[in-house]
Structure 1
Amino acid sequence: MERRLAAILAADIVGYSRLMEADEADTLARLKSTRENLINPKIAAHKGRIVKLMGDGALIEFSSVVDAVGCAVEIQRTMAECNAELPKEKQLEFRIGVNLGDVIVEGQDIYGDGVNVAARLEGLAEPGGVLISGTAFDQVERKLDFEFEFLGEQKLKNIEKPVRLYRVGPRARAASGTVPAKRKRHIEWRRLTVAATALILIAGGVALWKVVGDGSGPPVEVASRERMALPLPDKPSVAVLPFTNMSDEAGQEAFTDGMTDDLITDLSKVSGLFVIARNSTFVYRGKPVKISQVAEELGVRYVLEGSVRRAGEQVRVNAQLIDALTGGHVWADRFDGNVADIFAVQDVFVAKIVEALKVNLTTTEKTEIARAKPDNIAAKEAFEEGWSLYLRYNAKDTAAAITSLKKATELDPEYGRAYAALALAYFRVVESLWGKELGRDEPYFWWGAHDYVELAKKYPTSLSYTVEASRDAYEGRTEDARRNAGRAIALDPNDPEAHIATAWALTISGEPAEALNFVATAMRLNPNYPSHYVLARGLALFAMGDLKQAAEVFGEGVRRNPDATALFLPLSSVLAQLGRREEARQMLEKFRPGIGQKGLENIPDTLHLSFKSDYEHASVRERLNDGVRIAALPLDVTVTSLEAELETGNPLSQLYATRRLGWFGPAAAQAVPTLVEALKVEHLRREAIEALGKIGPPARAAIPALVALQNEALVGIYAKDALSRIRDN
């Protein structure tokens, strides 16, 4: 493994998804021209090497950190000059991060923490800005005449130690010991602001003491950071409790739940907020809970609660946002009016909440919030009823959800979010193997999901991109899956389903370790997560080869939800590969009660599993299938018994024995000499080659025999593949 010290520059385009959505061809043309005429010459002038381009991003290596930072500042300065001549919607802005660190070299690519830190810095940089690490700053501080602003230390994702951050300004630094006049005025103003804030806080503390501490009013129970089940995020965190239905009319629960769901959905699109998913807040529906309890159980600072009273076409909505750490009201408002105005009211509420939390609501976020709402109130109510049923994640409610969601699309044929929800429901039937319970085979729902994806694409929302990513992942189109999942997250950064879709895309394309980060984010956004999050996490661990941890994750998922049928097969597979075959078989029999031995052995060949790896990583799916095959075998079929059958059985039983030895993978290492002998038998040769490949590195003794076969016309390609597995794994 080659290592070296390098300066790494990571860059990406701000708002790339928005630009592509507005005009894909124009954006690509301008990006290509910018790279060829502006960026590439500057990289060359600073002796940099483009490691790789990633659509809207780039990774560049320099031997000198002075060159790297100089190049970054020149790029941003020139881009600012170019953008000054263009309308806002045509401007290309970059974020750039620079780090000096150790990298691992593999061919033309580089990996390691040195690269990861640069990528994290790029994500934190301001549009048009350059952010560098402390290691880079230490080298360039006295060598470049730029302004460096220390931003403190920050913990970066997947980086063990906090990293010092410095913002780089293109202006030359002032002489030593002087402070620019403008900056001095800013410092004085900041001091006055801090002093005023301190006085306000002191006064607020006195007022709070009068209410809470002197017995003149009822005590307010506030949340404690120490009691939080999960650490507070680094941005304002909000949980929206189900609004209370105060209506005298029957059947208004769906309308009230819809109000809550809309606020969750709209707030989640604001990148400056951390918003808990509906699944995790609706567990409190109809229960008398304290704000402090909700905050501590979900790990949030702010809790939004309210009530809805509807009478015919008139509606009254009360809402308040509470700071759980102080018990104080951050914002409260009320609406009395016509039901037809409810969508506008929601938009006002969202804008005021965002303003109260001092978070910016971008134009793109406003557009996405407006786009998700239909004009038809009845269609919205049908959607809310269907969405609520879908989120219960069981066969019966999914069937009812499909009926309601179809009604929503009939009432509003341009309801993109409803089409996307239908596609999700159909995919869930396929993934959970609920087809027979719903009266159809899984292929019916598989093709139906495709139809709804296409309809959702006509009226794009963040949910439609999530659905597209799910379909792409199911079919092994990893690049499409990652791109669409990225678009979904860009439009709705708090949507856990978009993070799960990204995790699938990463797992099937050979990056399961990174996939686990997205699963963790989804689980944090939705602490009461459904079982398909467990499936995504367990299969990422399986793809990494961590069978023990995967078994624990799947097992806990089944204990948490005994009806989570989608977990039964992967759990059975992992248990079998760990040698716990009796437990594996019991899980398989639970999956298909009373099916019989022949039926058990047919399961892997008749069922559609949850994902399809791309060609390069197809062995992951193959190992998963092989584990299920082992689980289905009678317990008296072992590696030893199969060896004996291979040596003494008839030609057909020898063929089966050879194939089955491959299913056991590395656990069949003792059979390598027997399989090498089988290479000499023509009708067993291909099966023996494949079995040795599945055994992997423990089959090194077979390398000479396989080398001798790699140029054979009929089996040479299989011999080369087996050699690759044995040598490289």
Structure 2
Amino acid sequence: MFQFNGYVLDVARGCLRTEDCEIELRPKSFEVLRCLVENAGRLVTKDELFRAVWPGVVVSDEALTQCISEVREAINDREQSTIKTMPRRGYRFAAPVSKPGSDDEHQRPAPATLDDATTSRLAEKPSIAVLPFVNLNNDLQLNYLSDGITGDIITELSRFSDLAVIARSSAFQYKSKSVDVRQVGRELGVRYVLEGSVRHDEKRIRITAQLVDAITGAHRWAERYDCELKDAFDVQDEVVRTIVTILQVRVVEAEAERTLSKPPATWEAYDYYLRGFEAWAMGFAQRPIASLYEARRCLERTIEIDPGYARAYVVLGRTYTYAYVEPRDDAYLDPTALERAEGLAMTAVRLDANLPQAHTFLGAVLSFKRRHEEAIAECEQAFLLNPNFSDHGVGLCLIFAGQPTRAIEVMRASMRLEPFRNAVRLAYTGHAHFMLGSYAEAVTPLRDSAWQMPDLRITQLWLAAAYAKLDRLDEAHAAADEVRRIEPNFTIERWKRTAVYKRPEDAERLFDGIRKAGLPDS
């Protein structure tokens, strides 16, 4: 049985009814409704309906149109808000659907074999991990495409506050590994796992996806999407909508339309965006300046093709803030780099005011301009748009604003969706402890962060100060040597321009530790 909009579709008895009465439907019309309801949330093509309702028989479009008309009359859908026509393609059942008495509506407790501690982390809402989609092309250089599609699905699912989505960095720990989804469920503390693959040639793309219950290992849904490259974004929306429906996320059509971001206009723009994002991530983690320049080239090309794509402005802007605060090239401490970043951030917010990444990036820029209240307001707006959103930059904004305790809370909440912690969150957590005077508690996350990203100068600097405050001077001097390795001409006076702490006592606490570690004032 399926419930929707006050109706019950009883497949076993072959009837449609309300609480008060049974509604007559011709058998073929009933089967059309059944097919649409069973596939609620995704496009059901005309060919699928013909195969399901009239198997082995050739019928005209008029036969299907008549059945759709009868179904709409039966469920009082004269406005066509429940069964949506997708011109020349098929139909989509847009109302939320549930199964009375099933696990989908009343989820049973996990069996004893699932680690209770792991389960408790995400127990308050349906949880899912999206594993890296497999690149079925022989060309490894096309990994960026399957990785990008995976990342976009994670991002779009994360917009729904009723769904806990494991972050990209944790999900990608399983890339290129053969895994048992039940083991993944135990390790990440999720109920559902999405797997998939991508194959494409010059003209077409095929995306396969399957949703698996990570507790039982049972397959809950699978689909294959074939389309021309220019239609790839429509396919992406269908994948996300279908997953959300199956997981019983109670989102009405208007909310779904508001929260699903609009993809760029053409495949070429999206392709450049994926390449740019990959280059930016490499430049940040491994520090080759050429990657930063390649990221800018690709992202600027994205914007040329599709000037309305807000995400491209966000990532492009991040390349400028990073170059401003880290000694990479002539942009280091150059105010024009920060101005460029602010302009890109403002444009991203203007283009898509519902994009959380745009608000947190703007908050980061405002923070470096010492506009702390405005920075925090932008971060708050991001979380209002999506309480499930995770951005480590919020932690640094809070530390600069004199709120280290809250920064730790935010980083802990972020790590809840990051079972495999990343280096930047660890660094910000450690620095927040430093600002609270908890130097011993600061050392461990800072040291772990420095081990993971040894070329990120700010982490080495914070670690040197923490060791110095604990009078562990040999270790402080070793961390200070790492700072000199990255920036041979480092001076506190020069670096102060990016030490934008709201409270003077916070800045002085840090400067005192840096001096004690052996780094010069000027």
Contact 2:333 2:497 in 1 (8 A): no
Verify the 8 A CA contact 1:319 1:334 in the aligned structure 2: yes
TM-score of the superposition, structure 2-length normalised? 0.72
The letter for the 2-side match of 1:391 is: A
Q: How do 1:258-277 residues align onto structure 2 when only pairs under 5 Å count?
A: 258-277=148-167
Structure 2 counterpart of 1:234: 124
Residues 242 and 305, structure 1, Cα contact 8 Å, conserved in 2: yes
Contact 2:207 2:226 (8 Å CA) reproduced = yes
- Give the distance between the partners of 1:531 and 1:364, measured in 2 at CA: 35
**Alignment pair present for 1:575 and 2:467:** yes
Label 1:449 to 1:527 Cα distance change in 2 as closer, same or farther (>3 A).
farther
Which residue identity lines up with residue 214 of structure 2 in the other structure? A
Q: Is the 8 A contact 1:223 1:324 kept in 2?
A: no
Matched, 1:353 2:247: no
Give the corresponding residue for 1:404.
Answer: 298
Task: Map 1:590-609 onto structure 2 (within 5 A).
Answer: 590-593=482-485, 603-608=491-496
Equivalence for 1:538: 430
Unaligned runs of 5+ residues in structure 2 are: 1-98
Distance 2:113 2:157 in 1: 22
Change (3 A) 1:450 1:338: same
Partners of 1:517 and 1:572 in 2: CA distance: 24
For residues 590-615 of structure 1, what are the alpha-carbon distances to aligned partners after superposition, in whole Å with 9 as ceiling and x for unaligned?
A: 2113988xx56xx111125755222x
Matches within 5 A, 1:492-507: 492-497=386-391, 500-507=392-399
Task: Indicate the SS of the match to 1:551.
Answer: helix
- Distance, in Å, in 2 between the alignment partners of 1:608 and 1:394 is 25
Percent identity, aligned pairs only, is 30
SS in structure 2 at match of 1:332: strand
Q: 1:520 offset after TM fit, Å?
A: 0.8
Change (3 A) 1:573 1:225: same
* Aligned mates of 1:633, 1:417 — CA distance in 2: 39
**Aligned mate of 1:620, from 499, 506, 516:** 506
Instruction: Provide Cα deviations, 1:344-381, integer angstroms capped at 9, x if missing partner.
Output: 1221221111111111235345323233x111211111
1:325 shift after superposition: 0.6
Larger radius of gyration: 1
**Does the CA-based 8 Å contact 1:244-1:307 persist in structure 2?**
yes
* Deviation, structure 1 residue 588: 1.0
Residue 476 of structure 1 corresponds to: 370
Quick one: which of 169, 175, 182 aligns to 1:279? Answer: 169
Write the distance in 2 (CA, Å) between the matches of 1:595 and 1:450: 26
Q: Tell me the residue number matched to 1:245.
A: 135
CA distance, structure 2, for counterparts of residue 409 and residue 572 of structure 1? 41
Aligned to 1:293: 183
Within a 5 Å distance, the mapping from 1:24-423 to structure 2 comes to: 224-226=114-116, 228=118, 231-247=121-137, 251-361=141-251, 363-371=254-262, 373-392=263-282, 393-396=285-288, 397-423=291-317
* C-alpha distance in structure 2 between counterparts of 1:529 and 1:343, whole Å: 31
Counterpart contact for 2:182–2:216, Cα < 8 Å: no
- Partner amino acid for 1:624? L
Matches within 5 A, 1:603-682: 603-608=491-496, 611-614=499-502, 617-632=503-518
Contact 1:532 1:566 in 2 (8 A): no
Task: Give, in whole Å, the separation in 1 of the partners of 2:317 and 2:107.
Answer: 51
Q: State the TM-score, normalized to the length of structure 1.
A: 0.52
Any conservation in 2 of the 1:249–1:310 contact (CA below 8 Å)? no
Work out the CA distance in 1 between the residues paired with 2:312 and 2:155: 14
Q: Is the 8 A contact 1:472 1:480 kept in 2?
A: yes
Which one-letter code corresponds to 1:623 in the other structure?
A: R
Q: Is the 8 A contact 1:233 1:274 kept in 2?
A: no
Contact kept? 1:435, 1:445, Cα under 8 Å: no
Report the alpha carbon displacement of residue 226 of structure 1 after superposing the two structures with TM.
4.5
- When structure 1 is superposed on structure 2, of 412-421 and 401-410 the one drifting more is 401-410
Give the 3-state SS of the residue equivalent to 2:261 in structure 1.
helix
| Structure 1 unmatched ranges of 5 or more | 1-191, 203-221, 635-659, 661-729
Distance change in 2, residues 1:559/1:247 (3 Å)? closer
Aligned residue for 2:227, secondary structure, equals strand
Q: Give secondary structure in 1 for the equivalent of 2:517.
A: helix
Equivalent pairs, count: 413
Deviations 1:70-118 (A, max 9, x none): xxxxxxxxxxxxxxxxxxxxxxxxxxxxxxxxxxxxxxxxxxxxxxxxx
